[in-house]
Amino acid sequence: MRGVRVFLLGVLILGSTLVRPTSSHEESGEWSCDSDSESRISAGFRPGVVTLDGRADDWKEVDGHEFPLRPALDPDEDHEYKGGKMIVKALHDGKDVYFMLQVDGEYMYSKGNNKQCPSVALMFQVGEKATYHNMGGCKESSDKCTSKSCRGYEVDIMHFSIGNAVPGRLYGGNVIDNGEGNGGDRFGHLFDTYAWNPHCRNLDGLGPSGNDSSAQNDWKGAWWHSSFTTHAGYVEEDSPYSSSGKKGTFYFEFSRPLRTMDRLQQDVQFSIGQSSKFSVAFWYPVDGKPWHGSGHYSVSCDWVPLDVSLGIISVLQKAASQSAWDVASAFALLVSVVSFCVSLFVGCWISKSRGISFVPIDRI
């Protein structure tokens, strides 16, 4: 038990920007947002296409959307991330949903120091009242926010800090941490969390009302950089894996089941053929300076729609069903027109026949 307490304390300290209240999340002025209403991501049905290894080669045929990265607390285009834009791609295989994030940037890595390395997060709307702004938007303070007082404001967050993660290796949900019933990751700091506002954030399964051992980390992910020269795989002793300052592209790849076993309203649940709302955040040590929790960039100042598309078979069946209905409707209309014409003909024929005199048969 003592070991568990020590680990959880370490998680809270190392992930302080993620799972602990903070007073640094302050905006510079009145909030305003001019989001791109046409931006949306389509997670198409593409089974057996990608391998979860952080590399983007197998994503080349998957369409994505390019977003400018602007400060989350002050989305002014004058303060955009100078390294380039972020490309976001998604797909699903009927069981899991996959995400690929691509962003240009000079290679930066400092083993064991997350804030000297790039970091990313995905945030999803869970509660119907949850807003992008203020990470859910519950008005309660950090000492009063609970699952009751903030009901309906839940957001689901996956956060990956790569300071202890070896490129190309999988992190996230693992037997040890899931066995303890929380969304932590002691190996690579790919956390599964939830929030009601920036000051009320917790690992899945942990909260102000007590812990629940049924929770787990449902995410898995890996990272890569285009400057890497090996494809055989890295180990921790190979750190820092590339030369600092090398130009290239960072890749972050993630997956999660469409549906999870969550019963605490802490995970977003995806449904095929329906849309969800999400956003992407990016931290980077600009000019070599460590980033801080609220100093992240975002792809939008509001939710971005995520469409989990129907499978091609379902689409074809639906189209075939619609076509069959159209044919049946056209045939029924044709029969109706023919019947009407026959009725007119018979009516006319009867009318003309009335002019013929009747001759009794005994006169013939």
Report the 3 state secondary structure along 222-271.
EEEECCCCCCCCCCHHHCCCCCCCCCCEEEEEEEEECCCCCCCCCCCCCC
Determine the Cα–Cα distance for residues 137 and 196; give it in Å rounded to an integer. Answer: 6
Q: Name the residue among 166, 192, 173, 187 with its Cα closest to residue 54.
A: 166
**List of E strands, the chain:** 41-45, 64-67, 70-71, 86-92, 96-104, 119-125, 155-161, 171-172, 190-197, 200-203, 220-225, 249-257, 275-283, 297-298, 304-308
- Give residue 316's pLDDT: 46
Q: Which of 33-42, 55-64, 351-360 has the lowest mean pLDDT?
A: 351-360
List, in order, residues 6 or more apart from 263 with CB less than 8 Å away. 214
Higher pLDDT, 335 or 256: 256
| Residue 171 pLDDT grade (very low, low, confident, very high; cuts 50, 70, 90) | very high
- Give residue 261's pLDDT: 94
**Helices and strands, counts by H and E, the chain:** 4, 15
pLDDT over 90 percentage in the chain: 70
- Give residue 325's pLDDT: 53
Residue pair 278/256 in contact by the 8 Å Cβ criterion: no
Determine the Cα–Cα distance for residues 137 and 142; give it in Å rounded to an integer. Answer: 12
- Give residue 321's pLDDT: 53
- Peptide linkage before 240 cis (omega within 30 of 0): yes
Predicted confidence (pLDDT) per residue in 294-348, tens digit: 999 999 999 999 999 997 644 444 444 555 556 567 667 676 766 766 677 666 6
- 23 pLDDT more than 50: no
| Residue 7 pLDDT grade (very low, low, confident, very high; cuts 50, 70, 90) | very low
Q: Which of 12-16, 91-95, 216-220, 356-360 has the lowest mean pLDDT?
A: 12-16
Give the helix/strand (H/E) hosting 342.
helix 312-353
Q: Name the residue among 234, 7, 20, 279 with its Cα closest to residue 133.
A: 279
Residue pair 254/122 in contact by the 8 Å Cβ criterion: yes
Distance from the first to the final alpha carbon of the chain: 119
Predicted confidence (pLDDT) per residue in 27-46, tens digit: 555 667 877 778 999 999 99
- Give residue 6's pLDDT: 37
